[in-house]
Structure 1
Amino acid sequence: MATRTQAPSPQKADELAQAAFALFCSRGIDGVNLDQIAAAAGVTKGSLYWHYSSKKDVILAAADLYYTRWREEMAAATGPAVTMVDKLEAAIAYSVRSCLLNDANRIFSTEVIALSVYDSDLRASWANFQDEVDRFFLGLTHQAVGNGELLCEDVDRAVDLMIAAMEGIKQIALFRPQICAPQSEQRTCRRLMSLLGTPA
């Protein structure tokens, strides 16, 4: 164990989470141990334990990193759009690129969801993130409908279906990877957008 002579460094904790995320994406969460994470981050195992008390804590930190990146990159993707429909289309396009076409993100999130079946802490972590994603898309879609840019009879149901469709595509990609091939991007975006309504 590391000698506790100074407070844990938030920067080092982030570096460990980033190293863990990269390893989890390439080798699978079960295929990575704490020694490998420490080595990838260039620290001792004792230093890793200084910041995280268990592998589960590292997984949760990697998940938090995933959530933070989603917030930052989604804001950048939707920020330049002018109308609410434009923002919605940009949000779906970013989601398809990040959640479906990006192998690392798709693999990591699929594994976290699978582990969440048996782990209440991981389940609560992912559920909070999913609630944030739901609120984000509900907000954009309600505004688009309210502005008269989009026709949709039941926004809540439409958003539920769109997100469920995206998650379904992610799962099917395990067996049919071509569904998440780059050439499918525009068609997938159009189909997901169509679930939210019809342009006014």
Structure 2
Amino acid sequence: MTPRPDVSAERKDQILNTAEDVFAERGFDEARMDDIAERSGLSKGAIYWYFKKKDDIIAALLDRVFRRNIESMRAEAARAGSVLDRLAAMGEQTSRDYESMSRLMPIALEFYAVALRQRKVRKHLATMYDEILAIIVPLIEEGIRNGELDDGVDPRQAATLLLGIYEGLGLVWAISPKTVDWKTLGPQAAQMLCDGLKRRGQGKKK
């Protein structure tokens, strides 16, 4: 007999795509697993086979978003150009990523709430942050070595600051969307940090 193809990845994507629509329309609290099953065309048992509860679906949705952002940051970090240019480009790309996930922001807020309640989810989020820092820290270290950045800069602290700026802007945007214009404020935030690092380095050389 011909072995049956493994459709696990396809089914998970089907469930997540449907859940994203349902959560966006009904809100996390009002959405039910039954709603996701009905909309996806799968049985409720099939939904529970892959995701035991709604919190697991939220974690998977945000993981997918983080993965896209992490891969785009890796691509920017690996391209040719100065460290300052690459840091600014990463900031601009992160802004575009945030803007593209506008429908998911209410879900993102719920994800952070779940992370506070559940150690497993909190640990998963911390792992995502560590992956982002693992991209930014070596880039800042490179900038220090080649003289672009001040040699007194702590690479991890600077990377954490950059991460915190965008996470903070994302939180403000989720609560008050009109306050944050990603097309202007996002790139400006990265540029301000880069200019600050560069000015301190130049000041020491005078």
Query: What TM-score, normalized to structure 2?
Result: 0.77
Percent of aligned pairs with the same residue?
24
In the TM superposition, 1:175-194 aligns within 5 A as 175-181=175-181, 182-194=183-195
Per the alignment, residue 159 of structure 1 pairs with: 159
In the TM superposition, 1:110-189 aligns within 5 A as 110-151=109-150, 153=152, 154-181=154-181, 182-189=183-190
Structure with the higher helix share, 1 or 2: 2
- In structure 2, the CA distance between the partners of 1:37 and 1:77, relative to structure 1 (3 Å rule), is farther
- In structure 2, the CA distance between the partners of 1:85 and 1:115, relative to structure 1 (3 Å rule), is same
Deviation at 1:86?
A: 2.3
CA distance in structure 2 between the aligned counterparts of 1:179 and 1:100, rounded to whole angstroms? 13
Checking the alignment, whether the CA contact within 8 Å between 2:77 and 2:135 is kept in structure 1 is no
Which secondary structure does the structure 1 equivalent of 2:52 belong to? coil
**Which stretch has the larger CA shift, 132-141 or 183-192?**
183-192
Per the alignment, residue 10 of structure 2 pairs with: 11
Q: State the one-letter code of the partner of 1:12.
A: R
CA distance in structure 2 between the aligned counterparts of 1:96 and 1:21, rounded to whole angstroms? 21
Matched, 1:93 2:102: no
Q: State the one-letter code of the partner of 1:141.
A: I
Deviation at 1:110?
A: 2.7
The total of aligned residue pairs comes to 195
After superposition, the C-alpha distances for 1:151-180 in whole angstroms (9 at most, x for unaligned) are: 252222222222222222222234443332
Q: State the one-letter code of the partner of 1:172.
A: V
Cα-Cα RMSD: 2.8
Q: State the one-letter code of the partner of 1:190.
A: Q
After superposition, the C-alpha distances for 1:57-83 in whole angstroms (9 at most, x for unaligned) are: 222222322232223333444554433
Query: What TM-score, normalized to structure 1?
Result: 0.79
Deviation at 1:34?
A: 1.0
Which secondary structure does the structure 2 equivalent of 1:117 belong to? helix
CA distance in structure 1 between the aligned counterparts of 2:77 and 2:145, rounded to whole angstroms? 18
CA distance in structure 1 between the aligned counterparts of 2:92 and 2:140, rounded to whole angstroms? 15
Checking the alignment, whether the CA contact within 8 Å between 2:16 and 2:57 is kept in structure 1 is yes
Which of 1 and 2 has greater Rg? 2
Deviation at 1:135?
A: 1.7
Checking the alignment, whether the CA contact within 8 Å between 1:92 and 1:193 is kept in structure 2 is no
Checking the alignment, whether the CA contact within 8 Å between 1:18 and 1:65 is kept in structure 2 is no
Deviation at 1:26?
A: 4.9
**Which stretch has the larger CA shift, 113-122 or 64-73?**
64-73
CA distance in structure 2 between the aligned counterparts of 1:175 and 1:81, rounded to whole angstroms? 37
